[in-house]
Amino acid sequence: MFDLSGMTALVTGASGGIGSSIARALAAQGARLALSGSNAAKLRAFRDELNSEFGHDHVEITCDLSNTTQVEELVPATVDTLGQIDILVNNAGITRDNLAMRMKDEEWEQVIRINLEAAFRLMRAAARPMMKARFGRIVTITSVVGTTGNPGQMNYAAAKGGLTAMTKAYAQEVASRGITANCVAPGFIRTAMTDVLPDAQKDALNAKIPMGRMGEGGDIGAAVAYLASREAGYVTGQTLHVNGGMAMMG
């Protein structure tokens, strides 16, 4: 079950904490990956690691998601390199936290451009080859914050909430062509950034989670692998919340 052999996937933000877990989960199920990010050295090192571990001849494609030209070229480059694109995972994102009254225009614009607009451009570009193939899986990483909001993150919450709504609209447009579009919304996930938090702050975060702990990158990877699979072909326009129960959505 959830065998992705013969399928190709483009993963943005692939060398980051959650992105690398997603890439690893897809590779473990047999997908061949185009790993994208802005740090060429990190991407190459991660590509070599995946190739050594899974032996699938994965590739890396450097892309600055704030650069419209590079974003527009990413899906065509993936198709040229891998021959097709079956799965698109919009994972990359940034934060520029600030209270609303202090938020600078550039802090708003950077987050919207990279977190929301780039995903739109990639989804638009992926539609044509996926429609031609009459198969596709779009999985976009949102956040619990996109549903609950969070003080100091008006830009981030707007972008993540926008991704959810955008995905629902897209899902309706492409469903008849065998393409699904869904979101995975992580809660607090343990990464290198959270590992350096003081114990008191970690305890405060864990106290908000019924399971009493942060999630792992593998929890997100498993959710993406399911939504990317052939078995998830009747699931579209949905958001899978992976947050240990800290926010239970109806």
Q: Give me the active site residues, please.
A: 156
CB-based contacts of 147: which residues, under 8 Å, 6+ apart? 161, 164, 185, 239, 241, 247, 249
Strands 136-141 and 87-90: parallel
Strands 136-141 and 8-11: unpaired
Only one residue has tokens 């799965």, namely 87
Helical ranges in the chain per DSSP H: 17-28, 40-54, 68-82, 105-111, 118-133, 145-148, 154-174, 192-195, 199-207, 217-228
In sign, the C-alpha dihedral spanning 229, 12, 152, 197 is positive
Helix (H) or strand (E) holding 69: helix 68-82
User: What is the rounded distance in angstroms from the CA atom of residue 39 to the CA atom of residue 14?
Assistant: 10
The answer to whether the beta carbons of residues 134 and 178 sit under 8 Å apart is yes
The answer to whether the beta carbons of residues 12 and 71 sit under 8 Å apart is no
